[in-house]
Amino acid sequence: MLNLSIILENSARKHPQKVAITFMSNALTYTQLNAAANQVANGLNALGVTPGDKVALSCLNLPYFPIIYFGILKAGAVVVPLSVLLKKDEVAYHLSNSDAKAYFCFSGNAILPMAKEGYEGFLKAENCSHFIEITPKPEDKPTIEGVLTFGAFLNGLSHTWESHVSNAEDTAVIIYTSGTTGRPKGAELTHNNLLINAITCSEFMRLEASDVQLTVLPLFHIFAMTVMMNAGFYKGCSNVLQARFDAPETLQLMQTNQVSVFAGVPTMYQALVAAETKHFDLEKISKQLRICVSGGASLPVQVLQDFEKKFDVPVIEGYGMSEGSPVVTFNHLDVGRKSGSVGTPVWGVQVKLVDDKGNEVSHGERGELLYKGPNVMKGYYKNPEATTNTIKNGWLYSGDIAIKDTDGFYFIVDRLKDMIIRGGLNVYPREIEEVMITHPAIAMVAIIGVPHELHGEEIMACVVLKDGENINEEDLKQWVKNRVASYKYPRIIKFMNTLPISATGKILKKELRAQLS
């Protein structure tokens, strides 16, 4: 018997008056956070939500997120976290596909009208019976006339609740994949999946109750949810929430709150490297920072080295995916780390690389990364065909291409579906991106394949230059050509002001291709 909410309840017992969550000028102790989650469980029970029912949640990095998340778990229901960027039709799809019975949605603002899009999507989902708008303050009126606010939902409810006793293999959370190929699929993660992964993360980050984490990665994404929130609550850490990434604000929060643990994606590290620090006490920030974590996408080696030089703190990179709860491999401090590597398998997880015939490849050879262990999802919700295609004999086929060196460290080469075949030769975009990002004029780069009549695919580089920098296409082509094999350099270079980026900081190559088609 196991319910993931035990990580909050246990810390509320051990550290009752310790600050669990800080957001702007507001702070909640573990006792207050647990009591508010109990109110949510009582409220869901009053709405008729029963164990096993699905409850969706769209919320920025605000104290409401963990309150509702753990309240849903306490009620024995399944959390369905949704991206805050979804439009009404996407919301309707996720609510319908997940069979959500209730939906908590933050109000948003004029730029990001979450409640408007969420409510219109809710009206299209026949299975979803209850819409609760999370207003900025509990006493605020709803932006959608006549709907129930979160403040009204909680009003008068008891602060005590006996959590539902779930089975370890019951589904706790359904995380929807990004949908880079086809419509998003819901990965069913069990209480056991998420608890073991959170404990594992707390161990390789060496978390202590004295740590202060800064969470700017969106909590609706599995990276922040497990690596920061769940792992931090398990250890009784304090967690500072930032609603959206802004490099100067991040630096200010680090300085003010004496942050010791930070997690980000490559685009965040790039922005922090480029950020002006003359208005901050960089020495103080660096002294307090104990460890930084990178994931979500491959961190360019140049960016890693520049960040570590500037902040004098180690960045440990790992590899994971929603289907893996999420962490699969990591650069463990006790094993050692290698720049550009995603490390070695985490506790209880086995990894191997295979060719297109399923045969394991030798050291230094490229192969698709497969893994098995307690982190592997239950399956894709209501999609047995996709589950069967992804999990075979207990091994999850990641779709990522990697190599393993003789020391057992893994290096992600690229996504299998992003690989470019030019004239019959395989070109791995990340390899070219790693080279190009070292150019002093380049801020961001994405390599994609575009159709070509003769070669099948041609290599295109989409480049964002640093402010004040300039270089022409031919000079940049020649610069790259001098550094890679002749069949690998980009024949087409597209200079852009920005690249499409997801809410989690990933460059969206699918959208990039659509923009340029």
Residue 415: what pLDDT?
A: 79
**Is-contact 132 149, C-beta < 8 A?**
yes
Nearest to 115 by CA among 98, 137, 91, 93: 91
Q: Tokens representing 35?
A: 């009591």
Tabulate helix, strand, coil % of the chain (nearest 5). Answer: 35, 25, 40
How many CB atoms are closer than 10 A to CB 362? 9
Residue type, 120: E
Mean pLDDT of 164-168: 97
Q: How confident is the model at residue 180 (pLDDT cuts 50, 70, 90)?
A: very low
β-bridge partners, 212: 238
Phi, psi of 279 (to 5 degrees): -90, 5
- Report whether pLDDT(510) > 90: no
Q: Look up the CATH architecture of domain 6-10+26-166.
A: 3-Layer(aba) Sandwich (3.40)
Q: Minimum mean pLDDT among 58-62, 132-136, 338-342, 472-476: which range? A: 338-342
Which residue from 63, 13, 11, 74 is spatially nearest to 40, judged by alpha carbons?
A: 74
State mean pLDDT over 116-130: 97
Beta-carbon-side half-sphere exposure of residue 232 (alpha carbons within 13 Å): 29
What pLDDT does residue 409 have?
97
Do residues 328 and 345 make contact, with C-beta atoms less than 8 angstroms apart? Answer: yes
- Confidence (pLDDT) at 414: 81
Global pTM reads 0.87
Mean pLDDT of 425-446: 90
Of 347, 446, 342, the residue nearest 401 (C-alpha): 342
Question: Given a cut of 70, is residue 459 above it in pLDDT?
Answer: yes
Residue 181's pLDDT band (boundaries 50, 70, 90)? very low
pLDDT (tens digit per residue) in 13-26: 999 999 999 999 99
Q: Helices then strands (H, E): number in the chain?
A: 17, 27
State the chain's mean pLDDT as an integer.
94
The answer, yes or no, to whether residue 484 has pLDDT greater than 90, is: no
At residue 455 the predicted structure's pLDDT band, cuts being 50, 70 and 90, is confident
Mean pLDDT of 368-380: 97
Q: Using CA atoms, how far apart are residues 186 and 263, in angstroms rounded to an integer?
A: 24
- Do you find a cis peptide bond into 374, omega within 30 degrees of 0? no
User: What is the mean pLDDT of the segment spanning 213-241?
Assistant: 97
Q: Is the pLDDT of residue 140 over 60?
A: yes
Angle (CA) 128-129-134 rounded to 5° is 90
Report, as an integer, the average pLDDT of 430-436: 90
Instruction: Identify the band that residue 182 occupies on the pLDDT scale cut at 50, 70 and 90.
Output: low
Q: At what angle do helices 64-74 and 30-47 cross, to 10 degrees?
A: 60
Identify the band that residue 454 occupies on the pLDDT scale cut at 50, 70 and 90: confident
> Can you give the pLDDT at residue 272?
96
Q: What is the mean pLDDT of residues 212-226?
A: 96
E strands in 32-117: 54-58, 78-81, 100-106
The per-residue pLDDT for 300 is: 85
Burial 282-301 (b: 16+ CB within 10 A, else e): beebeebbbbbbbbbbbbbb
Q: Which CATH superfamily is domain 421-516 in?
A: ANL, C-terminal domain (3.30.300.30)
**303 contact partners, CB below 8 Å, separation of at least 6:** 266, 269, 270, 273, 437
Residue 46 has pLDDT above 90, yes or no: yes
- Strands 315-320 vs 327-330: parallel, antiparallel or unpaired: antiparallel
192-415, CATH topology level: Rossmann fold (3.40.50)
Residue ranges per structural domain of the chain: 6-10+26-166, 192-415, 421-516
Let me know if the fold of 192-415 is the same as that of 421-516: no
pLDDT of residue 428: 82
- pLDDT confidence of 131, banded at 50, 70, 90? very high
